[in-house]
Amino acid sequence: MLGGLGDLGHAYLGILNPFSILLGLSGALTGILVGCLPGLSATLCIALLTTLTLKLDANNAILILVCSYVGTLYGGSRSAILLNIPGTAANAASCADGHSLALRGEAGRAIGIATSGAFTGVLFGVLCLATLTPVLAHVALDFGSYEFFWLALFGVTMSGRIVGDDPAKGWLMGLLGLLVAQIGQDGLYAHDRFTFGIEALSGGISLIPALIGAFGFSEILTTLSNPNLGRIIDLKDSTLPRFREVVRYWRTALRSGAVGVFTGCMPGIGEDAGAWMSYAAARMFSREREQFGKGSIDALMAAETGDMSSIPGHMIPLLALGVPGSAPSAVLMAAMIIHGIEPGPMLMIQHPQFVFDVVAMTSLAMCTILIFGLFLVRPLLYVLRVPRAVLMPIIFMLCCIGAYANASRLFDVYAMVVIGFGAFFLRRRGYQMAPFVLGLVLGGLLDKSLRRGLVLSGGSLEPFFTRPISALLALAIVLTVLLQSATFRRVLARLGRRAGTAPEP
């Protein structure tokens, strides 16, 4: 315990220098700018910045990425409030109430509440990150191939279930991601799979180009094919953070923080789930629930606190288990691996200081959004006025650099373009990209865990179902899939009715 506090103190001292603070500020500023622009996601921002930070040392690179992650989600609330278009999907819950406040001439107040809610959410999440990660990592040391197999499958299943309106389509995208992850040499015997004699495919489809294609190029095509942008509402009142409102709505802030962290801890569920669940919980308990959707402060506070607290929440399974909670955290994980840090249960043994370094980085990110919320709200809004016709070609140029830079292979640029086209057409048909990304990230772990587990058990499936955590995860997955079936729900309802009407003995 005291050792942990010492490590935490050391981590804070490590980033309290002008260079780190400057890096944090620049990362957060980039994130806010990207977040302000509807369509450009946190995933794309982190993937592009991963390229830019390749030659920096691990801690500085991750500091920039963490700050940009926090900044992007915070920046997304600007366009939600002023344009009624969420900058990132996580800000969708803020649209109705934030924009209603803006229409009433209280845009500055709404931005101030978003800033204070975001700060409170990240603060709550940071406390949970510092305390829960070492505990979970300790528990995860007992995990074997069986548990990791189910955990990887659980991430993809939950992502497919929660994201979007159609679980079957979500799971199909998860399966597609898992399948694409199988391309190239397999992890146990280095045997080529699905390479069709193309040498470049032996190395597999790299994560960063795939993510840039799925989230960057497809977004460029989506934006340019539908170029109409709504009217931007002018700011007339003060945009200063409103901590008085946080005190007034402290129950909402605390509840939303807890909901955000909880959803963040669940592998595969993204930041938007944190925002929507916090919103729903606030509506359930609020005294002004009839105002929800019409400019409620309580609702805006809940949505912004919920999505921001889920960021540190996502880092808990990422660091402790090596299983990312969302698409942006999947890129963060890839960046950590590029910089020689392997997240997972062994992290607390191999790099124990790093977990506390991430806590300190997230705390710095939290402070940067407060600084930008205090001083730079109005100038940053000019980015919303940049024409898409000018911005998008430049973003595509950055996408090409991002895809190429990690391995210096032109093949990665081609892979990015192909995946981008595929993602664009799939998105137009209602398929979400998040389960695909989770599948892509977790495909290797799933394959290795399944076959290693079977080798260890001599081909028996028994340990996959008899070890306590394995059994629990397997049950959760089976129930998640079965509950989507109308027939199963009918059977359950019939059983429930029968139990309810059964005569008492």
Cβ 28 to another protein shortest distance, Å = 17
Q: DSSP per residue over 237-280, as a string?
A: S-----HHHHHHTHHHHHHHHHHHHHHHHSTT--HHHHHHHHHH
> Which position among 1, 284, 349, 390 is part of the footprint of another protein (CB under 8 A)?
390
Burial label for 274, CB within 10 Å (0-12, 13-18, 19+), is buried
Among 16-24, 130-138, 216-224, 364-372, which window interacts with another protein (CB under 8 A)? 216-224
- 317-336 binders of another protein (CB under 8 A): 326-328
498 forms part of the interface with another protein (CB under 8 A)? no
- Per-position x/- string for 269-308, each x denoting binding to another protein as judged by CB under 8 A, each - no binding: xxxxx---------------------------------x-
The interface with another protein within residues 446-465 (CB under 8 A) comprises 446-447, 450-451, 454-455, 459
Check residue 392 for interaction with another protein (CB under 8 A).
yes
Name the residue nearer to another protein (CB basis): 138 or 489. 489
The H or E element that residue 192 is part of is strand 192-193
Q: Contact with another protein (CB under 8 A): which of 205, 366, 437, 441?
A: 437
Contact yes or no for 357/11 (Cβ under 8 A): yes
434 sits near another protein (criterion: CB under 8 A): yes
Nearer to another protein, 127 or 179 (CB): 179
Query: What does the alpha-carbon distance between residue 381 and residue 386 come to, in Å, rounded to a whole number?
Result: 10
Q: Which helix (H) or strand (E) holds 117?
A: helix 107-140
CB of 245 to another protein, least distance (A): 25
CB within 8 A of 411, min separation 6: which ones? 200
12 binds another protein, rule: CB under 8 A? no
Dihedral sign, Cα of residue 92, residue 96, residue 97, residue 99: positive
Nearer to another protein by C-beta: 303 or 348?
303
Stretch binding another protein (CB under 8 A), from 16-24, 277-285, 336-344, 424-432: 424-432
Residue 51's nearest CA partner among 412, 478, 357 is: 412
CB of 414 to another protein, least distance (A): 7
Taking the C-alpha atoms of residue 13 and residue 360, their distance in angstroms, rounded to an integer, is 9
Nearest to 213 by CA among 63, 48, 77, 101: 48
State CA 131 to chain mean position distance.
Answer: 20
Asked if 179 is part of the footprint of another protein (rule: CB under 8 A), the reply reads: yes
Q: For another protein, which residue of 227, 376, 483, 491 counts as binding (CB under 8 A)?
A: 227
What backbone torsions phi and psi does residue 287 show, to the nearest 5 degrees? -85, -15
Counting contacts by CB under 8 A, is residue 361 touching another protein?
no
Residue 327 Cβ vs another protein, minimum distance, rounded to whole Å:
5
Residues 228-247 that bind another protein (CB under 8 A): none
Q: CB of 10: closest distance to another protein in angstroms?
A: 28
State which residue, 222 or 353, has the beta carbon closest to another protein: 222
CB of 179 to another protein, least distance (A): 5
Q: Segment near another protein (CB under 8 A), from 367-375, 377-385, 402-410, 491-499?
A: 402-410
Q: Cβ(106)–Cβ(238) under 8 Å?
A: no
User: Is residue 172 at the binding interface for another protein, with CB under 8 A as the rule?
Assistant: yes
Task: Burial-class residue 211 by CB neighbours within 10 Å (0-12, 13-18, 19+).
Answer: buried
In 3D space, the residue among 36, 386, 83, 80 whose CA is nearest the CA of residue 232 turns out to be 83
Q: Identify which of residues 53 and 363 has a Cβ nearer to another protein in the complex.
A: 53
Q: Does 98 bind another protein (CB under 8 A)?
A: no
String marking each residue 54-93 x if it binds another protein according to CB under 8 A? xxx----------------x-----------xxxxxxxx-
Pair 84, 66: CB distance under 8 Å: no
- The reply to whether 502 sits near another protein by the rule CB under 8 A is no
Phi, psi of 39 (to 5 degrees): 100, -35
**Cα–Cα distance between 377 and 389 in angstroms, integer?**
24
**CB nearer another protein, residue 92 or residue 246:** 92
